[in-house]
Amino acid sequence: MSRQEVDQLNEIERMDKEHVFGTWSYQSEVSPTQVVGSDGMRFSDAHGNEFIDFSGQLMCSNLGHSAEKVSDAIAEQAAKGAYFAPGFTTEVRAKLGQKLAEVTPGDLTKTFFSTSGTEAIEAAIKIAKFYTGKDKVVSRYRSYHGATYGSISVTGDPRRLAAEPGIPGAIKAPDPYAYGSTLDPMESLEYIDEMLMLEGDTVAAVLVEPIVGSNGILVPPAEYLPRLKEIAHNHGALLICDEVMAGFGRTGEWFGCDIFDVEPDIMTMAKGLTGAYQPLGATIVNSEIAAHFEDNMLTHGHTYAGHPVACAAGLATIETYQEGNLIKHAGEVGEYLGERIEELAAAHPSVGDTRGVGLFRGIELTKSSEERMPFGERSDKLAKGSTVVDQVAGMAYENGAYVANMINTLIVAPPLTITPDEIDEAIAALDVALKVSD
Ligand code: PLP
């Protein structure tokens, strides 16, 4: 790199640091790296480094970085008509609505479009409240549902603390975390049952990630979600499944709830809906809830609801999953990923637990395997400085693999198109990195 190029690069990174807020950070600790290119499973920075994307950025780049069908659809729709108000429809919006009714389970039929996961949750909460006429939402501690005021209030992890007390009526329950909680996963359900009974007939919905994502990839026992639906319905509450991270093939099924054969009353989606090629959120409801709004106003909306370019990306993304048989591929190659992660666990004493399904896996690090002693507290992510799991991820990055992490857990969620050779490459980088925590 010439002296002039280095100066230019430094200037861009300085400009960004000075004028753009970093998310979820102390701004003094933010040091943005300029990314300049991407291809398939890889992306590269302006300093000449290339990385294999083992987390699909924020567990959202499900098609990798060069899905031509999607970028072509975006360009085509932008040329045809980049934006029309939500009162108008477009071919892509109507077709995407129909497509979502087709790929989501059972009777889920009508979608409210927004632009992100957090907005999909906001819509779900409001729809549940309007439909049931009740005010409260039960969600779980180890969960993340978004950063806006409503969705952060129903989030259970420490990110909610800065926004507390949040919106009224957001109540938290324990979760199915067999490794790190004293409560057995199925016992935690009975707690929710009792809690709903004690709340009286005031709870509109129980909101869960069927497979918990950023709080550590928690997969409940097979009977958990069916029983949760039964408990919610017994108490007159709806079941909302947040599929923002688990949805769209990552688990080897279209949605996390498909693994448990459960049809929620409302489902939220984003991330894999467009493989992150465009910002798009979606909240789909069953036909009974949809019918309610025929003569009851849906008092909700956004300027960009059903944005044509985002809908074009969503439609092309789902067609790409279908045409490439990618959901099945994710399940198959996901088995191999699971085996390779087990090998890592056997070789590294600091791996306390491994969890997951398909291409949605977590590696939880621990100071002491026998005592399951975590490296830090759950709220460490809110403190200044880097945690041990940050350092492991940093070392993997230095060795060419980008892996997201959160609260003692490395989160492996690569694009659905990953091959066994690419898995081997990223596992080799993790193998080196885990020496940091051993
Ligand atoms: N729900 C879940 C399960 C998520 O993982 C996330 C983001 O990671 C959200 C909601 C919020 O989505 P967004 O960041 O698009 O607002």
Please state the domain extents for the chain.
33-66+325-436, 68-323
Question: What pLDDT is attached to residue 384?
Answer: 86
- Is the CB–ligand 1 distance for residue 145 below 6 Å? yes
- Is the CB–ligand 1 distance for residue 208 below 6 Å? no
- Which runs of consecutive H residues, i.e. helices, occur in 134-223? 149-154, 185-198
In the predicted structure, residue 378 carries a pLDDT above the cut 80: no
pLDDT tens-digit series, residues 328-342: 999 999 999 999 999
Question: What pLDDT is attached to residue 374?
Answer: 86
Question: What pLDDT is attached to residue 407?
Answer: 85
| Token code pair at residue 117 | 């996961």
In the predicted structure, residue 1 carries a pLDDT above the cut 90: no
Alpha-carbon distance of 23 to 147, in angstroms, equals 10
Helix (H, G, I), strand (E, B) or coil at 410: strand
Task: Give whichever of 32-36, 138-142, 364-368 has the largest mean pLDDT.
Answer: 138-142
pLDDT tens-digit series, residues 280-297: 999 999 999 999 999 999
- Is the CB–ligand 1 distance for residue 55 below 6 Å? no
- In what helix (H) or strand (E) does residue 241 lie, and over which residues does it extend? strand 238-242
Question: What pLDDT is attached to residue 304?
Answer: 98
Ligand 1 atom at shortest distance from the alpha carbon of 121: 10
Q: Cα-flanking dihedrals φ and ψ of residue 330, to 5°?
A: -60, -40
**Residue 98: band (very low, low, confident or very high) from pLDDT cuts 50, 70, 90:** very high
| Token code pair at residue 94 | 């109507």
Residues above pLDDT 70, as percent of the chain: 100
Rounded distance from Cα 151 to ligand 1 centre (Å): 9
Question: What pLDDT is attached to residue 381?
Answer: 72
Rounded distance from Cα 344 to ligand 1 centre (Å): 28
Give the CA distances from residue 346 to residues 224, 225, 351, 363, 434, in Å, rounded to whole numbers and listed in that order: 29, 30, 8, 12, 12
Question: What pLDDT is attached to residue 435?
Answer: 96
In the predicted structure, residue 26 carries a pLDDT above the cut 80: yes
Question: What pLDDT is attached to residue 202?
Answer: 98
Question: What pLDDT is attached to residue 376?
Answer: 80
Least confident span in 16-30, 55-69, 365-379: 365-379
pLDDT tens-digit series, residues 136-172: 999 999 999 999 999 999 999 999 999 999 999 999 9
In the predicted structure, residue 382 carries a pLDDT above the cut 90: no
Which distant-in-sequence residues (6+ apart) come within 8 Å of 149 by Cβ?
163, 166, 167
Q: Cα-flanking dihedrals φ and ψ of residue 233, to 5°?
A: -65, -35
Alpha-carbon distance of 351 to 410, in angstroms, equals 10
Ligand 1 atom at shortest distance from the alpha carbon of 58: 8
Question: What pLDDT is attached to residue 184?
Answer: 94
Mean pLDDT of the chain, nearest integer = 96
In the predicted structure, residue 431 carries a pLDDT above the cut 90: yes
Question: What pLDDT is attached to residue 197?
Answer: 98
Region 190-199 average pLDDT: 97
Alpha-carbon distance of 246 to 373, in angstroms, equals 27
What are the strands of the beta sheet with 35-39, ordered from one edge?
Answer: 35-39, 42-45, 50-53, 401-402
Kindly state which CATH superfamily the domain 33-66+325-436 is placed in. Answer: Aspartate Aminotransferase, domain 1 (3.90.1150.10)
Least confident span in 148-157, 201-210, 347-356, 372-381: 372-381
Ligand 1 atom at shortest distance from the alpha carbon of 148: 16
Question: What pLDDT is attached to residue 385?
Answer: 85
Least confident span in 255-259, 302-306, 346-350, 383-387: 383-387
| Token code pair at residue 15 | 């400009």
Residues above pLDDT 90, as percent of the chain: 91
In the predicted structure, residue 27 carries a pLDDT above the cut 90: yes
Q: Write the class of the CATH domain 68-323.
A: alpha beta
Helix (H, G, I), strand (E, B) or coil at 51: strand
Which distant-in-sequence residues (6+ apart) come within 8 Å of 394 by Cβ?
386, 433
In the predicted structure, residue 4 carries a pLDDT above the cut 90: no
**Residue 370: band (very low, low, confident or very high) from pLDDT cuts 50, 70, 90:** confident
Region 384-397 average pLDDT: 93
Which distant-in-sequence residues (6+ apart) come within 8 Å of 421 by Cβ?
none
Exposed (0-12), middle (13-18) or buried (19+): which is 435, by Cβ within 10 Å?
Answer: exposed
**Residue 174: band (very low, low, confident or very high) from pLDDT cuts 50, 70, 90:** very high
Alpha-carbon distance of 166 to 206, in angstroms, equals 17
Q: Which of 61, 62, 118 for mutating ligand 1's site (highest number of atoms within 8 Å of CB)?
A: 118
In the predicted structure, residue 5 carries a pLDDT above the cut 90: no
Helix (H, G, I), strand (E, B) or coil at 409: strand
Q: Which of 170, 171, 174, 175 is nearest to 150 (CA)?
A: 170
Alpha-carbon distance of 49 to 114, in angstroms, equals 35
ipTM comes to 0.99
Is residue 424 within 8 Å of residue 340, measured between CB atoms?
yes
| Token code pair at residue 212 | 């918990």
What are the strands of the beta sheet with 409-412, ordered from one edge?
Answer: 351-357, 360-365, 409-412, 404-406
Which distant-in-sequence residues (6+ apart) come within 8 Å of 230 by Cβ?
none
- Is the CB–ligand 1 distance for residue 117 below 6 Å? yes
pTM exceeds 0.95, yes or no = yes
**At residue 377, what is the residue type?**
E
Alpha-carbon distance of 378 to 144, in angstroms, equals 13
